[in-house]
Structure 1
Amino acid sequence: MADTEALRVRFARALQGARGGTQGPDPAPYADNLLARWQEPQRHYHTLTHLTAVLDHIDELEAYADDPDVVRLAAWFHDAVYLPERSENEERSARLAERALSEAGVPDDRTAEVARLVRLTVTHDPADDDRNGQVLCDADLAILGSPPSAYAHYTAAVREEYHFVPAGAFREGRAAVLRQLLDLPRLFRTPYGQEHWEATARYNIRGELEMLSLPVPPPT
């Protein structure tokens, strides 16, 4: 179970860092709005547990980022709008970040960078010189390099979020996403991610693809 009070503190620190130390509105209402979003009932994987994991991975990777607090804020917003049946979640999340962070006293250039990073999670394909993007994408994809039991829990939670999609269509769509990931020259762009997560992630993805290719059992 995620510690919401600890998350409020982490949000306040990131917001203050992104403000550059200047004062602004109380962070609490912004944190509470985001926490409520991350606890919506349609979520099974994109929950506070996922948010906490992404923030923890950013802490591991922060030496590779140009602006770690901006990356942390991007993590908070990257799935803030999440409706599994909709395709524009990242864009709507980015626009939410633009409105909220501007109001919360974050300078325009940093607000724009948060929104850019949120939009980058559509492809998880940052440029070679995009240090902030590499850290956010690696942190978001780190679940792919987790131990098999955690990976199995992740795939089950994703399936639950898409419970309204028929089995055959889900398998086809999920397999396409996984193949797109495998086609990337590197899943992880930071040296840490490449060393610690890349090989395991590719093993997990190939295993899931094999499972998706098995015949669908008939209904009982």
Structure 2
Amino acid sequence: MTPAILADLQHRHAEPHRAWHNWARISAMLGMAEEVSHALADRPAFILAVMFHTAVFDRGVPDCAAQSIALLQRHLGRAMPPHMLARAEALIQAVLRQEPPDTEDPGLRADAALLLDLDNAPLGESAERYADYEAAIRHEFAHLPEERYRMGRIAALQMLLWRSRLYLTDRFYLDREKRARRNIEAMLDRLHGD
């Protein structure tokens, strides 16, 4: 990746409407990815997906993932092998849908599960860090009135609790699942109490 592309990504992630989906988050995800790099089927595609999955981000724009993929293609379409770009695109789509792709490729499914767990890692942080995450998410939805945001957030968090597992990989499940559920339940109590 060239310095110009990296600078463009950092510039995009510094947009003022981003409180959570910023470069600090990308850096944290890259750090976590490094810890589990031995488990990745396609490390370069995985790293590209981390770096580009929120390259275009605005809560008011419905097709940000498609625009992020288009940006990936514009920046790296001629420089990277087509199969690597296709895997990165599939991983970005998995984050958008919040589920691994329907594929016969076990490596792609495993990488997608790990990327989803990295994306959802903040749910299982300490209560204080989780509160910071929730505050940042609220900032990114600043365009919504409080009541509308509250109802939408309650629905989103409740849907998470209905999942049989928040984390798809055993590593994250064992380390974060219980704490994540406690964090979400506590936030739901607060939202219902407001």
TM over 0.5: yes
Alpha-carbon distance in structure 2 between the residues aligned to 1:38 and 1:54: 14
- 2:94 is the counterpart of 1:115: no
Q: Count the aligned residue pairs.
A: 189
Alpha-carbon distance in structure 1 between the residues aligned to 2:101 and 2:163: 12
The residue that corresponds to 1:106 in the other structure is 80
Q: Secondary structure at the match of 1:197?
A: helix
Counterpart residue type for residue 115 of structure 1: E
- 2:100 is the counterpart of 1:126: yes
Superposed CA deviations along residues 102-127 of structure 1, whole A, max 9, x for unmatched, are 13x11001101111111111222225
Which of 49, 61, 74 is the aligned partner of 2:24?
Answer: 49
RMSD: 1.5
Structure with larger Rg: 1
- 2:44/2:84 contact within 8 Å kept: no
Gap runs ≥5 in structure 1: 1-11, 13-26, 216-220
Which of 141, 145, 149 is the aligned partner of 2:124?
Answer: 145
Superposed CA deviations along residues 9-47 of structure 1, whole A, max 9, x for unmatched, are xxx4xxxxxxxxxxxxxx111111111111111111111
**TM-score, length basis structure 2:** 0.92
**Consecutive aligned runs of 4 or more in structure 1 exceeding 6 Å deviation:** none
Identity value in percent: 30
- 2:94/2:101 contact within 8 Å kept: no
**TM-score, length basis structure 1:** 0.81
Alpha-carbon distance in structure 2 between the residues aligned to 1:186 and 1:64: 20
- 2:158 is the counterpart of 1:175: no
Specify whether residues 68 and 137 from structure 1 end up closer, same or farther in structure 2 by C-alpha distance, changes over 3 A only.
same
Gap runs ≥5 in structure 2: none
Superposed CA deviations along residues 57-104 of structure 1, whole A, max 9, x for unmatched, are 21222233211221111000011101121222112112221222213x
